[in-house]
Chains A and B, each alone.
Chain A
Amino acid sequence: MPSPGSARTCFLTVLMVLLFTRLTQAGMAHRDCRFPMVFEGAAVNVVVLPYSYAGRNYSLSNLGNRLSLLVKLDVLSHILEYGSVGAVQMEMPEGVPSDDPSCLPETVLPILLGTHAPNMALAGMFANTRGSVNALRPGHGLVLVWGLLYEEGDDIFAQTYVRFLRRDINEAIEFQAGGSSLSAKPSSQLLAFIPQKFTQSELKQMEDSYSRADYVRDEPNDSARGDQLPQLVAKCAGYGCDDSPVHAGFYVQEKRGEWIRIQYMDPTKGQQKEGWIHSAGGLAGAPLEKILPEIKFIEGCAGYLRLRVADAENTPQMPAAPALAVNQLNGFVRSNDSQPDDIAKAVALQLAGAVEYLSGRGQVESLIKAADDFERARKMIPYDPNAITLAVGAQVAEEWRQKGRFEQTALKAERMSAASALSSDKAALANLNSLYRLLLSSPEPASAADNLTRAELKERMEALKRVAAPK
Chain B
Amino acid sequence: MFQNAVHSANWIRNAIAAAALTCGVAHAQLTNCKDPGPPDVFKIFVDEVRATGGSTGSARVREKVQGIHKFLSENLKASSGDNASVRDCGKRFPSDSADFDNKEFDGLDNLRVVLEVWGMLDDPVKGSGSLGFALVPARPIAPPAVYVVPSANLLNSLRQGKQMSAFAPLVLGIRQYQNKNYADAVPLLCAGTQQLNSVLTGQSALGDDAFRTRQRELMKKVKEITDSAIREARRTPGSPFGLWNPTSDGTFLCPD
Contacts and interface: CB of A to CB of B under 8 A. Distances in A.
B159 A194 contact: yes
Interface stretch (A9-17, A149-157, A267-275): A149-157
A195 B64 CA distance: 15
Nearest to A385: B187
A36 B58 CA distance: 37
B194 interface: yes
B143 to A, nearest CB: 26
Contacts of A149: 67
Interface in B108-160: 125, 127, 153, 155-156, 158-160
Question: Which of B187, B195, B202 is the most central at the interface, judged by chain A CB atoms within 10 Å of its CB?
Answer: B187
A340 B67 contact: no
Given A55-B62, A382-B254, A383-B254, A470 B238 contact: yes
Contacts of A421: 183, 186, 230, 233, 239-241, 243-244
B75 A467 contact: no
Interface in A173-209: 190-192, 194-195
A236 interface: no
Contacts of A419: 255
A388 B255 CA distance: 9
Contacts of B78: 161, 190-192
Contacts of B68: 150
B208 interface: no
Contacts of B159: 157, 194-195
Contact of B243 (A150, A152, A417): A417
A361 interface: no
B66 A469 contact: no
B191 interface: yes
A422 B186 contact: yes
B216 interface: no
Nearest to A426: B240
B215 interface: no
A190 B81 contact: yes
B40 interface: no
A388 B254 CA distance: 12
B6 interface: no
Contact of B74 (A55, A192, A417, A422): A192
Contacts of A432: 243
A109 interface: no
A153 B60 CA distance: 10
A54 B70 contact: yes
B243 A383 contact: no
Given A418-B244, A467-B242, A469-B238, A383 B70 contact: no
Contacts, number: 128
Given A54-B70, A382-B255, A463-B243, A151 B63 contact: yes
Interface residues of B, number: 51
B71 interface: yes
A420 B67 contact: no
A414 interface: yes
A299 to B, nearest CB: 21
Interface in A14-45: none
A429 interface: yes
A159 interface: yes
Nearest to B63: A55
B256 interface: yes
B67 A53 contact: yes
Nearest to B184: A424
A381 interface: yes
Interface in A32-78: 52-57
Contacts of A55: 59, 62-64, 66-67
Contacts of B153: 152
B245 interface: yes
A464 B160 CA distance: 42
Interface in A438-469: 460, 463-464, 466-467, 469
A375 to B, nearest CB: 13
A256 interface: no
B240 A161 contact: no
Contacts of B155: 150, 152, 157, 195
B44 interface: no
Contacts of A469: 238
Contact of A418 (B59, B70, B195, B255): B255
Interface string B168-209: 000000000000000110110011011100100010100000
Contacts of B158: 195
Contacts of A467: 238-240, 242-243
A225 interface: no
B75 A415 contact: no
Given A151-B63, A195-B159, A463-B242, A383 B187 contact: yes
B54 to A, nearest CB: 18
A417 B245 contact: yes
Question: Which of B153, B198, B242, B255 is the most central at the interface, judged by chain A CB atoms within 10 Å of its CB?
Answer: B255
B75 to A, nearest CB: 6
A57 B187 contact: no
B70 A382 contact: no
A313 interface: no
Q: Which 8 A-B pairs have the closest CB atoms?
A: A470-B238, A55-B63, A150-B67, A383-B190, A54-B66, A192-B78, A54-B70, A417-B243
11 contacts: A53-B67, A55-B62, A150-B68, A151-B67, A153-B125, A159-B71, A161-B78, A190-B81, A383-B255, A460-B243, A464-B243
Interface of A: 52-57, 148-153, 157, 159, 161, 190-192, 194-195, 338, 340-341, 381-385, 388, 414-415, 417-424, 428-429, 432, 460, 463-464, 466-467, 469-471
Interface of B: 59-60, 62-64, 66-71, 74-75, 78-79, 81, 125, 127, 153, 155-156, 158-160, 162, 183-184, 186-187, 190-191, 193-195, 198, 202, 204, 230, 233, 237-245, 254-256
Given A150-B155, A464-B243, 18 more contacts: A55-B67, A148-B74, A150-B64, A150-B70, A151-B64, A153-B127, A195-B158, A341-B198, A381-B194, A382-B194, A382-B256, A383-B190, A415-B255, A421-B186, A432-B243, A460-B243, A463-B243, A469-B238
